[in-house]
Amino acid sequence: MRRSRDDRFATVRRLVWAAHDVVEARAKIVDAIADESGLSREGVDLALREHVEIDATDAEIDTLVATAGDADCVHVVLSANVFVAALRAIAIARAAAPRVVVRLSKRDTIFASALVDAADDPAIEIVDAIAFEKIRSGEVHVYGRDETIASIRARAPGLVVRGHGSGFGAIFATNAISDRELSRIVGDIIVFDQRGCLSPRIVAVVGDFDLAKRLGERLASALRIAAESVPRGRLTDREQRESREYIDLMRFGGELFESDSAVVGVARSDAIILPPPGRHVHLLHAPSIDALRNAFAPFSRFMTCVATDAPSALSLTGTRICRFGEMQRPRLTGPVDLRASL
Amino acid sequence: MPNTLTDLSKELLASDSLHARARAFVEAFESGSAMPESFDALAVDIARFQCSHIEGYARLVRARGLSPDALHTAAEFPATPADAFKVSRVFAFPESEATATFRTSGTTIGQRGEHFMRTTATYDAAAIAFGRWALMHDLALPVRMAVLGPSPTESPDSSLTHMIAAFFSSFGEPSSESPYIIEGDVIDLARLDAIVATLLVDSDRPLFLFGTSFAFVHLLDALGDQPFPLPSKSRVMLTGGTKGKSREVSASDLRQSLAGAFAIDAQAIVSEYGMTELSSQFYETTLRDPNAPHGLYAEPPWARVVPVDPDTLAPVAEGDVGIARIEDLMNIDSAFAVLTADRVRRVPGGFELLGRTPGAAPRGCSIAIDELLGR
């Protein structure tokens, strides 16, 4: 039996209200999420205050419902790092199906559990594991690494598996960046300590090395100031190692601006280097927007989001294009990853 | 960078002198003599030369708070990250002086690393000397060679192609037929068959077959279940892995499949380990010691592979696994020490190659550089 639009809408709206309640009562979960995620307490608070889509409009929810599809059951596999993403993932699943089964990431359990508890929707069930081989109908929505998606797809032949894989964000600046714009860019960088697929890890500017270097210095300074109110959380061992590798690489081949809380490397060449998450930014330059577009073309399938001051000059198929400061604030209209499902 | 012609002349003279000292290592190795000086003595002079003439390396040394004149062993100098060849100029001479440029594989997306060379003479001398030791020592030379790969004309920026061409010049039997049996992407099985047939008819002389691991996978695919026996005493040198290719095959499985298809002993199939960023190569030793295990690589006396802790970059304890810091005295004009992402372990007789540093720990949807670059 097909569900009505109103039923779907109501279940999503109920989730958004639940998210609102969780955010309002966030003091109860901030410390636990900080422990679990490695983010600082202030970083968790920032994410909850400003990056949960509790202000979703009816029109936005309508759009989400209209594009969610239709299934008798959706199994959702959530990924780690961007803990607030549980709202969107579960909302899309619930819009699509009268029954939703959610497997949490072991490293991000608290927000999603609190959300499902607050929603008090008997159609949503959290489980420890999913036997994909035994699922006979419905869809599987997988958020995570490409390998995880491929592995689940192999275990669930014949099922519709919608995979949202790994990616990164970038910033393209064609004009001088004002202090206000810089502040917005910093906001995109610091939330979730850059561990999301929307997080910008590369900033590309149209201009020469000296221009890039000046921007790098300003960006590093702005990141240092931002860390006074929202400190960087702890880096994993691997992130620390990759940070050291990136710093050595940029000492050799670029200009480095580093502090206790962030690293900005300014490249002398247009080589695209992806620094580790944890507030590391690789800044490169090119003589024109066309040159930038060409330099990034081989990476386009990995680029989830680009913030730019020249959106009309970009045509990156499948990449979400937005303004500075909006990378981590996608409206609740559907999946944030517009790339073809893996 | 030199400011005047005199500066340039001095720089080139200094480089020439270091090349001469490096080639003296190779000559001593070939003649069975003692090395003309200690590894560290030459390494330190090369490192100081590179500090003076490669800005990026000088910055790296300064950032460590080091003064080149105060350092007296190779280990005290930092290694150049292999990725530096992708983002920066890693050469100690004006670009106009370059006579060859080798580029890293184009199979990964993104920037290719570039290794500029002012001269390939030292590279060639070292490659030929150690290639002879590891691969040819018991063969009557010249030997008939075939290459599962492009010719230097087709692939002028491949260091592997250059090295095999140098082998062909030194060890190969001249023939009216080209030894390169891949054109474009197509393996010319008929040509290989004709070469083998000629050798079998002419008193069963051996064939030396070179190629990348993945080219051999393609060859096996082309052969299907059909055996393709090579003349007795034939041998194979392969290099590189198949990870990230359309079909992944373990080194062990590939070796067994090749031994079966070619009807040769698996010990006659030798893996080479090399990098575009280096000027020296490393080989399994099964052709010299039939009891040697596969996976054990030997170094020439002018290069050493030091497993280091990936966090501290300090050498790990004997027998522990680390990432490879490769010190190469033939890399005079670029990077005498290169830091790789390959995991290695010292064992008696050489080192074991254990693959790339494992992929990033699960990161959710945040992509890891390994995934992005297919490293």
Task: Indicate the CATH number for domain B121-301.
Answer: 3.40.50
The highest-confidence range among A263-267, A310-314, B369-373, by mean pLDDT, is: A263-267
How far is Cα A106 from Cα A88, in angstroms, rounded to an integer?
18
pLDDT tens digits, residue range A160-203?
A: 999 988 889 999 999 999 999 999 999 999 999 999 989 999 99
A residues 186..225 contacting B (CB < 8 A): 194-197, 199
Query: Matching CATH topology for A5-164 and A168-322?
Result: no
CB of B50 within 8 Å of a chain A CB? The answer is no
Checking B286-291 for CB contacts under 8 A at 24+ apart, the result is B287/B134, B287/B135, B287/B137, B287/B138, B287/B235, B288/B133, B288/B134, B288/B137
With b for 16 or more beta-carbon neighbours within 10 A and e for fewer, the A173-189 pattern comes to bbeebeeebbebbbbbb
Question: Please, what CATH class does the domain formed by A5-164 belong to?
Answer: alpha beta
Instruction: Extract the tokens encoding B3.
Output: 């400011």
Give the pLDDT mean for B140-148. 93
Q: List the domain boundaries for chain A.
A: 5-164, 168-322
How far is Cα A306 from Cα B187, in angstroms, rounded to an integer?
43
Least confident of A33-37, A264-268, A292-296, B139-143: A292-296
How far is Cα B15 from Cα B49, in angstroms, rounded to an integer?
8
Give the pLDDT mean for B284-310. 96
Residues of chain A in contact with residue B1, where contact means CB-CB under 8 angstroms, are none
- Nearest-CA residue of chain B relative to A81? B364
How far is Cα A67 from Cα A336, in angstroms, rounded to an integer?
13
Q: List the domain boundaries for chain B.
A: 121-301
How far is Cα A202 from Cα A282, in angstroms, rounded to an integer?
5
Q: Which residue has the higher pLDDT, B182 or B262?
A: B262
* CA dihedral of A246, A249, A250, A252, whole degrees rounded to 10: 160
Is A144 in Cβ contact with B365 (below 8 Å)? yes
Q: Which residue has the higher pLDDT, A238 or B259?
A: B259
Amino acid (one-letter) located at B61: V
Q: Which residue has the higher pLDDT, A55 or B372?
A: A55
Residues of chain A in contact with residue B103, where contact means CB-CB under 8 angstroms, are none
Q: Which residue has the higher pLDDT, A336 or A73?
A: A73
Helix (H, G, I), strand (E, B) or coil at A84: coil
- Give the CA distances from residue A277 to residues A166, A217, B41, B91, B133, in Å, rounded to whole numbers and listed in that order: 13, 19, 41, 31, 46
How many C-beta atoms surround the C-beta of residue B237 within 10 A? 24
Is B310 in Cβ contact with A271 (below 8 Å)? no
Question: Please, what CATH class does the domain formed by A168-322 belong to?
Answer: alpha beta
Q: Is the pLDDT of residue B138 over 50?
A: yes
Least confident of A101-115, A263-277, B27-41: A263-277
| Biggest CA-to-CA distance, chain B | 66
